């Protein structure tokens, strides 16, 4: 159980929340929603006890499993399976048992007796913590989240960013914690894993708080909605599922509008009467009271709520280029003994649209990074065509320098960009005023996505390589980027698990990984994205 009383939240100088008192009970499944940068992740961090609020108290009972939006935690030397097991202390017991097993081989007599005794104690401990069945639970969770068995013994440092995140998610789900706080848990999952996660969470009996822009997940899993309204610095609590919440919000807005209109009318009448009466000296006092009443009526009804601003996104015309600006031939990649893909060929024609499909670990991000020139293939080569200008949007926002400011990052996006132009584009992506001097590390997930997209916009690229460009974006911003994709004249190579992004792209071709087969786009390929 987690409860807050009069919590105040700040980010730097900005007030995010004032006087918030909420409760998360056992069995609650809460969807924490709100626009990008509203303060959801900051609030989750406070609920988890990772940071203190600027004011008020947070009370926690029971164990809590917290998945941050951008987890880069954990002992780097640890292996994948041990990292997951460590949340229940199983890794250290297993380690001890292995040590004793080794010693058994080289000892005899009394010494062996002692070791055997210690071993049986360790094994008892191991069993009471869940033991072998827990280990196989952990393995099942990991597999369902798209972590192949062959990486279980790899060290965390060898994993991709997306894999690291999935390890952390597996660890939290394995923890058996009484309350789970999950910040964007689907970000690096493929369709099959998302479906599995939805099912897992629907059956979860503890308390649950999910921050997610994945409407489907929220719709199937949650039974309460906490709407974080950044304009009013409050959390509106709706004790209902997602669909009813949407209706209720609409009705609330409608009711407020009506109430406001009635109040304005009444105030206007009083005002007019007051003005008539004011002309006569004998009625000046009554007139005053009329004005006062009018004022009171207006101030007692809620003003129309400010609508959230939306980033206005438009990709500029691509720089001219030849018929086939990018070609790749016979690309192969292995990590250690694991073959990711072999002999993949691809030709990107001017203005063409290609979607890359494949399950978790099929090498989609790996292929995009090769096309972007960020990763050397083991065999084969990527050949730029005439006039190629690449724009690469990395899933992990690797293109951003976290220590530098928003503006500094933008100035690096194109050699000849002026500060004025950079600030203009940033403005349309909702970074205004002092926002441009924020270091990237303090930005919210959605803000980072917006910045990375802003970099693409000024690059005048004619081939865009996009790796999950809609992750982290709130619905309104997502619509904007989908619109921009639709209109863009250049070529796009897209990796996504967002069906809407594919349909906005209207792809001509699909590349299937790990086989590398190419096919013309048919609508039954949607089934591969949604798997439903
Ligand atoms: N140290 C800081 N200084 C200034 N601003 C900050 C600081 N830390 C966070 N912020 C700002 O606080 C706001 C809230 O961030 P938070 O990460 O909680 O948003 P969010 O609701 O999780 O958004 P998203 O949906 O994009 O993940 C953002 O605008 C962020 O830039
Ligand atoms: Mg966030």
For residue 184, the ligand 1 atom closest to its alpha carbon is 27
The percent of residues in the chain predicted with pLDDT above 70, rounded, is 98
The Cα–Cα gap between 428 and 420 comes to 13
What is the spatial order of strands in the sheet that 234-238 belongs to? 64-67, 179-183, 207-211, 29-33, 224-229, 234-238
What is the spatial order of strands in the sheet that 509-512 belongs to? 390-393, 463-467, 491-495, 353-357, 509-512, 517-520
Q: Pick 190 or 270 by higher pLDDT.
A: 270
Ligand minimally distant from the alpha carbon of residue 46: 1
Q: Whose CA is closest to 168, among 80, 89, 45?
A: 80
The Cα–Cα gap between 471 and 186 comes to 9
CB neighbours (10 Å) of residue 437?
Answer: 11
The answer for 6, left when phi > 0, alpha when psi is -120 to 50, beta otherwise, is left
Cite the DSSP H helix spans in 129-214. Answer: 131-144, 161-174, 191-202
The Cα–Cα gap between 466 and 474 comes to 18
In total, the chain counts a number of residues equal to 532
Query: Ligand 1 site: residues with CB under 6 angstroms?
Result: 11-12, 16, 34, 36-42, 69, 438, 442-447, 472, 474
* CA 45 to ligand 1 center in whole angstroms: 11
pLDDT of 497 over the 90 cut: no
The Cα–Cα gap between 218 and 1 comes to 20
What pLDDT score was predicted for residue 72? 67
- For residue range 105-144, list pLDDT tens digits in order: 888 888 899 999 999 999 998 888 888 888 899 999 999 9
Q: Taking the alpha carbons of 181, 248, 36, 46 in that order, is the dihedral positive or negative?
A: negative
pLDDT of 532 over the 60 cut: no
Q: Whose CA is closest to 440, among 472, 408, 477, 481?
A: 408
Ligand minimally distant from the alpha carbon of residue 37: 1
Q: Which of 44, 66, 70, 442 to mutate to test the pocket of ligand 1 (most atoms within 8 A of CB)?
A: 442
- For residue range 405-414, list pLDDT tens digits in order: 999 999 998 8
| pTM for this model (two decimals) | 0.86
> Are 168 and 13 spatial neighbours (Cβ–Cβ below 8 Å)?
no
* CA 219 to ligand 2 center in whole angstroms: 19
Tokens (6 digits) for 353:
């649209």
Q: Taking the alpha carbons of 230, 232, 238, 244 in that order, is the dihedral positive or negative?
A: negative
* CA 93 to ligand 2 center in whole angstroms: 35
Give the pLDDT mean for 224-251.
Answer: 95
Q: Whose CA is closest to 449, among 494, 406, 411, 414?
A: 406
Tokens (6 digits) for 468:
């999950």
The answer for 21, left when phi > 0, alpha when psi is -120 to 50, beta otherwise, is beta
- For residue range 319-347, list pLDDT tens digits in order: 899 999 999 999 999 877 778 888 999 99
Protein residues within 5 Å, CB atom, of ion ligand 2: 40-41, 69, 444-445
Give the pLDDT mean for 448-461.
Answer: 90
**Protein residue with least CA distance to atom 10, ligand 1:** 11
Pick the CATH number of 326-529 from 3.40.50.300, 3.40.1190.20, 2.40.160.40, 3.40.47.10: 3.40.50.300
The Cα–Cα gap between 87 and 258 comes to 53
pLDDT of 63 over the 60 cut: yes
Arithmetic mean of pLDDT over the chain:
90
pLDDT winner (highest mean) among 200-214, 273-287, 386-400: 200-214
């Amino acid at each position: 159980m987690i409860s807050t009383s009069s919590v105040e939240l700040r980010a730097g100088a900005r007030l995010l929340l004032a006087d918030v008192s909420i409760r998360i009970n056992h069995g609650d499944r809460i969807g924490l929603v709100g626009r990008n940068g509203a303060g959801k992740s900051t609030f989750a961090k406070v609920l988890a006890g990772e940071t203190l609020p600027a004011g008020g108290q947070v009370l926690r009972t029971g164990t809590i499993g917290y998945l941050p939006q951008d987890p880069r935690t954990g002992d780097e030397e640890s292996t994948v399976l041990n990292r997951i097991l460590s949340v229940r202390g199983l890794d250290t017991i297993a380690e001890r048992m292995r040590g004793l097993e080794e010693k058994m081989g080289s000892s005899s007599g009394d010494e062996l007796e002692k070791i055997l005794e210690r071993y049986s104690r360790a094994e008892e401990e191991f069993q009471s913590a869940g033991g072998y069945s827990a280990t196989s639970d952990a393995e099942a969770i990991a597999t369902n989240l798209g972590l192949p068995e062959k990486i279980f013994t790899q060290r965390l440092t060898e994993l991709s960013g997306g894999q690291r995140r999935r390890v952390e998610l597996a660890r939290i789900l394995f923890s058996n914690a009484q309350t789970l706080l999950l910040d964007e848990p689907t970000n690096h999952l493929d369709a099959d894993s998302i479906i599995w996660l939805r099912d897992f969470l629907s059956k979860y009996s503890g308390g649950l708080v999910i921050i997610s822009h994945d409407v489907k997940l929220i719709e199937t899993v949650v039974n309460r909605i906490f709407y974080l309204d950044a304009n009013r610095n409050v959390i509106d609590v709706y004790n209902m599922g997602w669909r009813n919440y949407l209706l209720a919000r609409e009705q609330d807005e409608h009711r407020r509008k009506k109430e406001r209109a009635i109040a304005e009318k009444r105030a206007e009448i009083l005002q007019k009467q007051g003005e008539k009466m004011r002309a006569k000296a004998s009625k000046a006092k009554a007139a005053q009271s009329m004005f006062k009443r009018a004022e009171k009526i207006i101030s007692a009804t809620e003003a129309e709520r400010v609508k959230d601003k939306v980033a206005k996104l438009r990709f500029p015309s691509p720089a001219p280029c030849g018929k086939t600006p990018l070609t790749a031939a016979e690309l192969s990649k292995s990590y250690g003994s694991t073959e990711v893909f072999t002999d993949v060929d691809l030709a990107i024609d001017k203005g063409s649209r290609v979607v890359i499909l494949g399950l978790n670990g099929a090498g989609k991000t790996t292929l995009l990074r090769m096309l972007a020139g960020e990763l050397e293939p083991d065999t084969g080569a990527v050949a730029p065509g005439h006039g190629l200008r690449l724009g690469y949007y990395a899933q992990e926002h690797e293109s951003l320098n976290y220590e530098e400011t928003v503006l500094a990052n933008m100035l690096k996006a194109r050699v000849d960009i002026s500060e004025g132009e950079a600030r203009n584009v940033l403005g349309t992506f909702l970074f205004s005023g002092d926002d441009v001097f924020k270091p990237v590390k303090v930005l919210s997930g959605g803000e980072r996505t917006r910045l990375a997209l802003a970099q693409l916009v000024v690059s005048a690229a004619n081939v865009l390589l996009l790796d999950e460009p809609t992750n982290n974006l709130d619905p309104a911003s997502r619509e904007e980027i989908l619109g921009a994709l639709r209109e863009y004249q250049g070529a796009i190579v897209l990796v996504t698990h967002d069906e809407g992004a594919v349909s906005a792209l209207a792809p001509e071709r699909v590349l299937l990984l790990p086989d590398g087969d190419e096919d013309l786009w048919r609508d039954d390929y949607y089934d591969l994205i949604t798997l439903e």
